Amino acid sequence: MHHLQKVKNDIVRGLHDYMGMPIVPTDTAGRKPNYPYMAYKITTPYEGNTFSLADEAVPSENPKYDYDIKVTRKEQPHFTLSMSAYSDDEDKARDTAQQAADWFKFIGYHYFVTCNIVVISTTNVTDRTQQLVDDYERRYGFDVRIRAARSISKRIEGMETFNFDSTINNPHPATQ
């Protein structure tokens, strides 16, 4: 499973368990859940490129070698998630959005730790109400920036011997 997909699934599962209501993607066709519900959209899927590399000797998969080198790239990309509470009642939409924001800011902290997720920041809850033909759909929402640890590894097979040639072949002798 793609890293962002796993992080998104962890967040949706945790928020659903806390809120006890549907948490659905914003941009989906089809029937909407009954009010109230939360919707999310990943507005910035991958920000940041800070990383570190680590090498370690690991037992070789090739019987000719004792060890291979495992190279691991560790990074902590972040992304922005836009959250909105939907309701036909303004107070319910606002209170639902605030409850979800509180989960991201503080209540869900230990859950996030178990998922290797860090909440970087949460914006204030704001009115996002939309007019629908002859009525209004009450929406209140906020944005949250998330950072999640990610690592990718590759194995480099060991070498028995390697001979270095001490002569340098220069195709342009005049430049020496």
pTM summary value:
0.74
Q: What percent of the chain has pLDDT over 90?
A: 50
Question: Other C-beta atoms within 10 Å of 104: how many?
Answer: 23
CA gap 122, 76 in Å, rounded: 18
- Do the beta carbons of residue 37 and residue 88 sit within 8 Å? no
In three-state secondary structure terms, 29 is coil
Span 5-10, average pLDDT? 92
Give the residue among 144, 150, 74, 81 at the shortest CA–CA distance from 115: 150
Q: What is the pLDDT of residues 68-113, one digit of tens each?
A: 889 998 888 889 999 999 998 999 999 999 999 999 999 999 999 9
Cβ atoms of 23 and 40 closer than 8 Å: yes
Other Cβ atoms less than 10 A from the Cβ of 112: the count is: 19
Rounded Cα–Cα distance for residues 135 and 89 (Å): 12
The one-letter amino acid code at 157 reads: E
Q: Where are the domains of the chain?
A: 3-47+78-117+137-151
Q: What is the per-residue pLDDT for 159? A: 61
